[in-house]
Structure 1
Amino acid sequence: MADSANFTLRDEIKAYWSERAATFDQSPGHEIFSEEERAAWHALIGRHLGRGDGRKALDLASGTGVISHLMDDLGYQVTGIDWSEAMLERARAKAASRGRAIRFHVGDAENTLEADDSYDVIITRHLVWTLVDPEACFAEWLRVLKPGGKLLIIDGDFVNTGLAERLIKRLATFLERTNLIKTQAPHAPATMASMHESILSRVHFSGGARVEAVSRMLKVTGFSPVTADTNLRKIHKAQSQYFGFFKAIARGLQHRYAIIAQKPAE
């Protein structure tokens, strides 16, 4: 590891996701495992961003390129950026194997180095909850969008759990320990759990990225209008068949959402 005095939280986040890259696509909720789920994602994106028709799209924290491919399906000219080269290696290989003309390169969501007013749409999935400085990121995204361009954020509060979700998880744990149901594979390797918890405790939304808080910050940044869509049931339903019974129920109870924010037209 680098000298701890120079190894920042942002470096830790980059290292964490780089280590996750090798198995990232094996997890339901990351890669897409059915045409039903693919169609549900297409419907969500189409509902809020419309068809691409050659318009330019920026996929921030593109990872292995899952969302980039969905945007490409819909006719967008896609650029994916991520600060993990390990993730990008897999994204490029996937695009090449599928014959997709998607451009992937190393980049920072807080400082994209993209030109002013250069993208019609920006999309992110499960990025906002990891941000160290979301205000700086939102200002950067506003700068990069063309006037009238739209930002689509898909994210959630993965910290706070309601009573029903806690009870479902406790019941599942009890049944696993008593061998009444099969133990579910963890979403991430158990060896990385402490690293994940340490990072989560220090990001901006350490108390949970609630839709109201994220939307409010986007409005302060200058996006208008800003609207929220919490109806992600079709995506969850398609994914749930790849989770165990109890995990699927618990996941469906989580605070997940899409936020659509527009850069005002000049």
Structure 2
Amino acid sequence: MDIRNHDLKEDIREYWSKRSRTFDLAFGHRIPPGSELDAWAAAVRDAIGAAPQKVLELACGTGEVTKVLLSLGHEVTALDFSEAMLDVARAKHAGNERVRFILADAERTMEPHETYDAVICRHLVWTLTEPEQALADWFRVLKPGGRLLVFDGDWAKLTPVGKLASLAVRVLERFIGQDPHYDGAMSERHADIMKRLPFGDGLTVERLVPLVEEAGFKDIRLPTRGAIVKAQRRKAELRNRLRTLFYRRFILVASRPDPLRTGAFADKTVQ
């Protein structure tokens, strides 16, 4: 075992565990009922189809994307590296028989071969210590024809508009005070972890797509996040509306080829 990598993973686990109790209070993490939940549900339906499926959710955190998946009727195995995060998720979905929560490493899930119709993650890929290994494992657990759905972004660099929005937030907070629950609440720890990650200098679709292709995925497409962003802004205060401009975010959908079928979304790929 690479001890340096082991230490990094333990630092990542500790960071997210410490944030578990207040994580849903940070803007952009909770998915409230109404238009925002509907927008997330529509994005999932567009990516993997409307029929109930067997889904592996990676890095489920407090179970917010789990909530979206369950609302669509899917059977969900939700895993996370942090027991503290899983405690929150289990309490949130107690009694729901269509979800199974497990403590596991998203880079090496240990799930059986060709088990799932879809593998889904939100804000996970940027934290991977071994992205090639992780993508190979996700390909392995998907059934032929199964789909990978990634929600993520470049959290290392502000967009040009984001730089102006960040300045506006700093000015605004001189009058209303800082938000103790935003990601910057543990900014020094966060920054230390980021600089040690493969994507610590920024996760972009330009970097990710070749890795997804090398893992064997096909029919890669990049749906718009417009409806989700619009829903997030609808009820947000000014500070949080500005935060939606900070970073370049994206959705990526890809398929494990099925030799017996043609790609349902072939006409929408980016290849």
TM-score, normalised with respect to structure 2: 0.88
Does structure 1 conserve the Cα–Cα contact (< 8 Å) formed by 2:58 and 2:80?
A: yes
Distance 1:34 1:260 in 2: 24
Q: How does 1:131-150 map to 2 (within 5 A)?
A: 131-150=128-147
Does structure 2 conserve the Cα–Cα contact (< 8 Å) formed by 1:28 and 1:239?
A: no
Distance 1:30 1:206 in 2: 20
Distance 2:245 2:225 in 1: 9
3-state SS in 1 of match to 2:132: helix
Does structure 2 conserve the Cα–Cα contact (< 8 Å) formed by 1:147 and 1:265?
A: yes
2:114 paired with 1:117: yes
Q: For 2:193, give the aligned amino acid.
A: I
Residues 1:153 and 1:265: Cα distance change in structure 2 (over 3 Å) = same
2:179 paired with 1:185: yes
2:127 paired with 1:127: no
Distance 2:5 2:129 in 1: 16
Residues 1:253 and 1:27: Cα distance change in structure 2 (over 3 Å) = closer
TM-score, normalised with respect to structure 1: 0.90
Which segment drifts farther, 166-175 or 15-24? 166-175
The partner residue of 1:65 within 49, 63, 84 is 63
- CA shift for structure 1 position 190: 5.5
Q: How does 1:147-166 map to 2 (within 5 A)?
A: 147-166=144-163
Distance 2:126 2:67 in 1: 22
Structure 1 vs Structure 2 CA RMSD:
2.0
- CA shift for structure 1 position 220: 1.1
Residues 1:15 and 1:77: Cα distance change in structure 2 (over 3 Å) = same
The partner residue of 2:241 within 245, 248, 260 is 248
Residue 165 of structure 2 corresponds to which residue in structure 1? 168
Does structure 1 conserve the Cα–Cα contact (< 8 Å) formed by 2:27 and 2:240?
A: no
3-state SS in 1 of match to 2:170: helix
Q: For 1:8, give the aligned amino acid.
A: D
Residue 264 of structure 2 corresponds to which residue in structure 1? none
Residues 1:152 and 1:189: Cα distance change in structure 2 (over 3 Å) = closer
3-state SS in 2 of match to 1:225: strand
Distance 1:6 1:108 in 2: 13
2:226 paired with 1:233: yes
Does structure 1 conserve the Cα–Cα contact (< 8 Å) formed by 2:31 and 2:65?
A: no
- CA shift for structure 1 position 186: 4.4
- CA shift for structure 1 position 213: 0.9
Q: Runs of 5+ in structure 1 lacking a partner?
A: none
Q: How does 1:186-225 map to 2 (within 5 A)?
A: 186-188=180-182, 192-225=186-219
Residue 35 of structure 1 corresponds to which residue in structure 2? 34
Distance 2:185 2:153 in 1: 24
Q: Runs of 5+ in structure 2 lacking a partner?
A: 260-271
Distance 1:157 1:221 in 2: 21
Residues 1:246 and 1:24: Cα distance change in structure 2 (over 3 Å) = closer
Which segment drifts farther, 233-242 or 80-89? 233-242
How far does the alpha carbon of each residue in 1:81-136 deviate from its partner, in whole angstroms, 9 at most, with x for none?
A: 00100011111111116x45310010111111111101010000000011111100
Residues 1:109 and 1:144: Cα distance change in structure 2 (over 3 Å) = same
Distance 1:168 1:222 in 2: 39
Q: How does 1:19-34 map to 2 (within 5 A)?
A: 19-34=18-33
Matched residues, number: 257
- CA shift for structure 1 position 34: 3.5
Distance 1:35 1:28 in 2: 16
- CA shift for structure 1 position 245: 1.6
